Chain A
C-alpha cells in the first residue's frame, strides 16, 4: 500500500478538548471538497488531533490536475470575417485556428482552448490558508492585532507536505514548513518530520498523535494500576474523552485520600473528583465509594510520586472546603433560608427565586400535591443560598435534599428536593417519588410559562434557559412518571408554548421511543392530552400495525375522509336506518353499531389495543361496502344518508388516531 502522500498539521496552542472533534470533521469535509472542486484525485486517509495539533493525511494526490480542453464560443458565422478576426485576436490566436460550432440557433466561431492542469502543490498553496481559517469554532480570538486572523487559539506552526516537498504558504503570519513541535516538556521544540516518519518522530518527542492510542494508554494504565487491588473504576466515557484530548502523552496515576472524608455524602466527593479535578472515582468490592482516585497526567511517568502527592493535597484542600461548607451551612437551617431567596436572581426580568418559589408552591397545590410536596416546593431552592451549592453548582437540589434529610424533614420532602432537577437529560430517569415528580413538573412548567410570557423563546441554537430540555423533562415526567395530568390547561392558553410542547412530544415519541413518523402524526392529530392516553394509543397502533386488517382499513379510512372532503359534507349529522340499502350497506351499519359499544367499553377500561383490534375487524364489511355500493347514489337522500353513515364511522373511530395520517404501502 502506498500510504499518504499529503500531510497537514496545524500547530495551535492548547485547544479546548470538546471543540476538537467538530473541528476535525470540518477539516475532513473541507479538504475532500477542495480536492473535488479542483478535479484532483485522492482521499483523506485519516484525521486526528492532540490539544496542540490538528492533523490530516491524504493519499493518492496526483502531481497536477489533468490537462483539459475548454470550448470558447465566439460570434455567429453570419457576422463575417471581421468578427472572426476580432475573436481570434482576443484569444491571441489566428483565424485558421478557429473552428465552427453548430448549435440549434445556428453556427458560431469557436476555439478549443487547451488548459494545462495546474500543479497540485500550487492549488494547495493557494487554497490551504483559507481552508484552515474556515474551521468554525464556538468562540474565536485574534493574537497579533485587531485586524489579524482569528482562530480558536494562536496558530504557532504549520506542517504541509506533498510527497517530500513542503507546500509553501503563509497563514496567520506562520509560514508552512516540515518542522513540527514535540511535547512541551518531553519533546524538542522543533521536530523535523516527513510523511512516512511523522508519527514515529512525534512519538520520539513525547506525542501520541492518534487519540485512539492515547485512549488505550489511559485504559491500559488504569487496568494495570488496579491489578490485584479490589478496586473498580466507574466507567465514564465522557471523562475519558476529555482526558484523551487534554493530553499528548497521558499516564494515569492512582491516588488516595483519608477515609475520614467518606463521612461526607458521596455525591459531594464524586462531584469534587469528577467535575473539579477530572479524576475517575473508584468503588470498593462492596460497591461503596473507595478512598482512592485516578488522575491522568500529561507526562510519561511520576517516578518520585510528586504528581500523586500534589493531586492528593489538592483533593484534600477541596474536601476540606466541602467539609467546611457542610458544617457551616448547617448553622442555618434550610427552612430559615426561604426569605434569603429574595436576593437570588432567577432571571433579571422574572425576579427572584422567592417569587419563583411562591409560584411553584401554588402550582404544586393546584396539581394536588400533598403537604409534603408543598413543603418540598417551599424549600427546594433554599440550597442556592448555601456555600456548598455556590461552590459546587452541579449539586443544586442534591445538596438541598441531603441538608433537609440531615435537618429532620420528612423523607418524602427531602427526596423530592433531592430529585427535582431530574431528568437532566433524555437518558436520565425521572424523580423517584410522587412528590418529586410533581415538584419537578411544577418547577419546569413555571420556568417555561414565565419565559414564554416575557418572550424569551428559544430560536435555532439559542436556548439560554435550556427551555427545550425543561419541556422535554415535562414530557418525560408525565409519561414515565405515569401522571394522568392534562398538560394543555397548564399552559395558560399560550399557543406558542403549546406548539413548542407539541414539537417536544413528537421528538420524544419518535426519537426516544422509536415510534414511526406517521403513527405519531396519526395519534397526535386525534389529540395528545393527557399524554399517557396518547402513549397507550401509540402502543396499540404499534401492536396492530403488522396485522392483516390494519393497513387496508387505514386506506379505507383515508378514502372515507377524502370522499367526505370532496362532498364538503358536514359531519355530525344522524343517518337513518330506513334509507339503508339491504346488503353490504345495512351490514356495515350493523357491524359498526355492534362494534361501537364494544370499542367504547374497551377504551374506557384502558384497552386501546383491544379496541383497535375490534375496529380493524371491520375491514371486510368496509371492503364489501366500497366494492358493491355507489356512495354517490342518484337519489340525493340516499347519498346524504350514506355520507352520514361514513362520517359517523370515521368520527367514532378517529378518537384513537387519525388514520388518514397513516402512510400505507
Chain B
C-alpha cells in the first residue's frame, strides 16, 4: 500500500514525465487550486503552459472541528493544467490513475456532467466529475473563460481530491486514518488545524477586523490597478502583487461568510467587489502578456 505522500510523488512524477512544471503550493490562502496565479493567470493569453502542483485549499465554511470523517476546512488538491488541452487528455488522465495503482479493468469509471463556474473570478468551464466506483475523485474542466476573458487556448484542468483518492487507495473510512507516511496518520499531521481553525472561523474571528482587512486589501489592489495605464515599463508592473490582494479579499470574504457576518443584501455586493478586482487584474495580466 502506498502512503499518502507516495501517492503524491507518483502523481507528480507522472505529470512531470508529460512535460509539466512541478510547482510548489502557492503561499497565499486560496479556496481552490484554480485560484492560484499558476492557473488563474497562466491560462490567459496565447502561450502554451503545463503545470502541476499540490494546493492546500481552505474553505472555512466546510470546517467540522475535525469531527466529520469526510469534511475538511483545508483539503489538498492536485491541480494539473494542460494548455492547450491535448487531444488524448482523457487517456492521459486515466493513465495517471493507473500510475497510482488503480487497475481500470477492475474498477468502474464514469464521466458525469459537471460544469464549473466561479462568479467571483468571472470564470467558467465545461466538464465532468470523474466517478471511480461511485466516488468523485476528480473534477475535469475545459476552461472557457477566466477573469471575464475568453481563453485563446482552451486549457484542460484536472483537480484531484487527494484525501479522497488516498482514502480509496488505502481503503480507509475516515480521512483522518489515511497513512501519511508509515507510522504517521493524517490526523497526526492535520487534526489540530482542523479543530483550531473551525473554532476561529466559526466562533472567534473578529468580524470588525476582517472587514477592515478586506477594505485594506481591496484598496491596495485597486490602487495598483489604477496605476497600470500610465505606468511606462509594463513588464515591470507588479500585476502579481495586485493579484495577491485579490486572493486575500477572496479568503476574507469566505471567513466573513463562515462567521455569518454577511447579510443577504451585502452578499451580492461583496462578491461583486472581489470580482471587479479579479477581472481587473486578469485584464492587466493579459495586457502585460500582449505588450
Binding site for B on A (CB under 8 A): 13-14, 16-17, 51, 139, 141-146, 153-154, 156, 184-186, 189, 246-247, 277, 295, 297-299, 302-304, 306-307, 309-311, 313-317, 320-321, 324, 340, 342-346, 348, 351-352
Q: A141-B144, A306-B107 are in contact. Are A343 and B262 (CB under 8 A)?
A: yes
Tell me, in angstroms, the Cα distance from A315 to B173 when the chains sit together: 11
Q: Is the CB of B107 within 8 A of A313?
A: no
Q: Is the CB of B85 within 8 A of A143?
A: yes
- Complex contacts, B112 vs chain A, CB 8 Å: 246
Q: Is the CB of A298 within 8 A of B134?
A: no
- Please give 5 more A-B residue pairs, beta carbons under 8 A apart, in addition to A17-B113, A185-B105, A352-B264: A143-B142, A145-B154, A154-B87, A184-B94, A307-B133
Q: Is the CB of A13 within 8 A of B90?
A: yes
Tell me, in angstroms, the Cα distance from A303 to B113 when the chains sit together: 28
Q: Is the CB of B264 within 8 A of A310?
A: no
Q: Is the CB of B105 within 8 A of A145?
A: no
B108 is an interface residue with CB less than 8 A from chain A: yes
B19 is an interface residue with CB less than 8 A from chain A: no
- Complex contacts, B233 vs chain A, CB 8 Å: none
Count residues of B near A (Cβ-Cβ below 8 Å): 47
Tell me, in angstroms, the Cα distance from A475 to B90 when the chains sit together: 49
**A204 smallest CB distance to B (angstroms):** 16
Residue of A nearest to B68 (CB): A324
Q: Contact string, B111-153, partner A, CB cutoff 8 A, digits 1/0?
A: 1110100000000011010001111000000101000001111
Tell me, in angstroms, the Cα distance from A316 to B168 when the chains sit together: 13
- Complex contacts, A324 vs chain B, CB 8 Å: 64, 67-68
Within 8 A of A (CB), among B170-188: 171, 173
Residue of B nearest to A345 (CB): B264
Tell me, in angstroms, the Cα distance from A380 to B82 when the chains sit together: 47
Within 8 A of A (CB), among B65-85: 67-71, 84-85
B263 is an interface residue with CB less than 8 A from chain A: yes
- Complex contacts, B91 vs chain A, CB 8 Å: 189
Q: Is the CB of B268 within 8 A of A348?
A: yes
Tell me, in angstroms, the Cα distance from A314 to B171 when the chains sit together: 11
Q: Is the CB of B126 within 8 A of A146?
A: no
Tell me, in angstroms, the Cα distance from A505 to B113 when the chains sit together: 36
**Which 8 pairs across A and B sit closest by C-beta, in order of nearness?**
A310-B133, A16-B113, A14-B111, A297-B108, A311-B134, A141-B126, A352-B264, A314-B134
- Complex contacts, A141 vs chain B, CB 8 Å: 125-126, 142, 144, 154
Tell me, in angstroms, the Cα distance from A16 to B151 when the chains sit together: 23
Query: Per a CB cutoff under 8 Å, which of A145, A310, A320, A352 touches B132?
Result: A310
Tell me, in angstroms, the Cα distance from A184 to B91 when the chains sit together: 8
Q: Is the CB of A143 within 8 A of B154?
A: yes
Residue of A nearest to B267 (CB): A345
- Complex contacts, A342 vs chain B, CB 8 Å: 263-264
Q: Is the CB of B110 within 8 A of A185?
A: no
Q: Is the CB of A351 within 8 A of B154?
A: no
Q: Is the CB of B110 within 8 A of A314?
A: no
Q: Is the CB of A315 within 8 A of B154?
A: no
B236 is an interface residue with CB less than 8 A from chain A: no
Tell me, in angstroms, the Cα distance from A298 to B70 when the chains sit together: 26
Residue of B nearest to A391 (CB): B71
B104 is an interface residue with CB less than 8 A from chain A: yes
Q: Is the CB of B69 within 8 A of A14?
A: no
**B163 smallest CB distance to A (angstroms):** 12
Tell me, in angstroms, the Cα distance from A316 to B144 when the chains sit together: 36
- Complex contacts, A352 vs chain B, CB 8 Å: 263-264
Q: Is the CB of B134 within 8 A of A310?
A: yes
Query: Per a CB cutoff under 8 Å, which of B128, B135, B265, B267 touches A14?
Result: B128
**B82 smallest CB distance to A (angstroms):** 12
Q: A16-B113, A146-B152, A246-B112 are in contact. Are A156 and B87 (CB under 8 A)?
A: yes
Q: Is the CB of A321 within 8 A of B106?
A: no
- Complex contacts, A304 vs chain B, CB 8 Å: 106
B205 is an interface residue with CB less than 8 A from chain A: no
Task: Give 22 A-B contacts (CB < 8 Å), ordered by A residue.
Answer: A14-B111, A139-B115, A141-B144, A141-B154, A154-B85, A184-B90, A184-B109, A246-B110, A246-B112, A302-B106, A304-B106, A306-B106, A307-B106, A310-B107, A310-B133, A313-B173, A316-B173, A320-B69, A320-B173, A340-B260, A343-B262, A351-B265
Residue of B nearest to A390 (CB): B61
- Complex contacts, A185 vs chain B, CB 8 Å: 94, 104-105, 109
- Complex contacts, B94 vs chain A, CB 8 Å: 184-185
**A55 smallest CB distance to B (angstroms):** 19
Tell me, in angstroms, the Cα distance from A289 to B151 when the chains sit together: 49
Residue of A nearest to B153 (CB): A145
Q: Contact string, B254-291, partner A, CB cutoff 8 A, digits 1/0?
A: 00000010111101100000000000000000000000
Q: Is the CB of A351 within 8 A of B133?
A: no
**B85 smallest CB distance to A (angstroms):** 6
